[in-house]
């Protein structure tokens, strides 16, 4: 599998997921590449973290996905924005169906395996991890 083909598949999945997420926070952005300078009111991004072929020779995969959100302590001191973004993402991910995906044939969406808010002195972030069962994935 060539890197460009994997990148194309990953980009399609990321785009489908971001299109399926509804944010209610004014000024928050969804993007496929994180730039903290352009997201003072919060940002949500997504990445494909792993492709696992289920059986050699069969084009069926588990695709591991992380949806990540971030705000800065300086613009979100009471954590209201990060909590709102987290709730929006959780609600959107749980509402996703196989029809959400147009770039690949998704046969199923596995339950969320990790969902947590983390913080340090400068920023707040969350990660929501889940897997997609993708059939007939060709590169």
Domain-wise residue ranges, the chain: 3-134
Distance separating alpha carbons of residues 112 and 129, to the nearest angstrom? 6
7 CB-near residues (< 8 Å, 6+ apart): none
Distance separating alpha carbons of residues 95 and 19, to the nearest angstrom? 13
| Per-residue pLDDT at 100 | 96
Q: 71-120, pLDDT tens digit by residue?
A: 998 889 999 999 999 999 999 999 999 999 999 999 999 999 999 999 98
* Mean pLDDT, rounded, for 24-41: 81
Mean pLDDT, all residues of the chain: 90
| Per-residue pLDDT at 1 | 44
pLDDT over threshold 90, residue 34: no
| Per-residue pLDDT at 36 | 65
DSSP 16: H
- The dotted CATH code for 3-134 is 3.30.70.1700
Angle at 73 between CA 71 and CA 75, to 5 degrees: 70
Residue 65 buriedness (CB in 10 A; 0-12 / 13-18 / 19+): buried
* Mean pLDDT, rounded, for 55-77: 92
Distance separating alpha carbons of residues 124 and 110, to the nearest angstrom? 26
Distance separating alpha carbons of residues 23 and 73, to the nearest angstrom? 20
pLDDT over threshold 70, residue 67: yes
| Per-residue pLDDT at 35 | 73
DSSP 14: H
- Joined together, the tokens standing for residue 101 give 């995906």
């Amino acid at each position: 599998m060539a890197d460009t083909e994997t990148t194309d598949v990953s980009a399609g999945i990321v785009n489908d997921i971001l299109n399926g997420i509804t944010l209610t926070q004014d000024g928050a952005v969804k993007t496929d590449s994180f730039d903290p300078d352009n997201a003072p009111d919060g940002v949500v991004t997504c990445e494909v973290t792993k492709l696992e072929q289920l059986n050699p020779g069969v084009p069926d995969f588990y695709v591991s996905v992380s949806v990540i959100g971030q705000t800065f302590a300086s613009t979100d001191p009471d954590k209201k924005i990060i909590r709102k973004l987290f709730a929006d993402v959780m609600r959107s991910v749980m509402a996703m169906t196989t029809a959400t995906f147009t770039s690949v044939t998704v046969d199923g969406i596995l339950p969320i395996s990790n969902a947590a808010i983390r913080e340090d002195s400068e920023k707040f972030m969350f990660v929501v991890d889940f897997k997609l069962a993708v059939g007939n994935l060709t590169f």
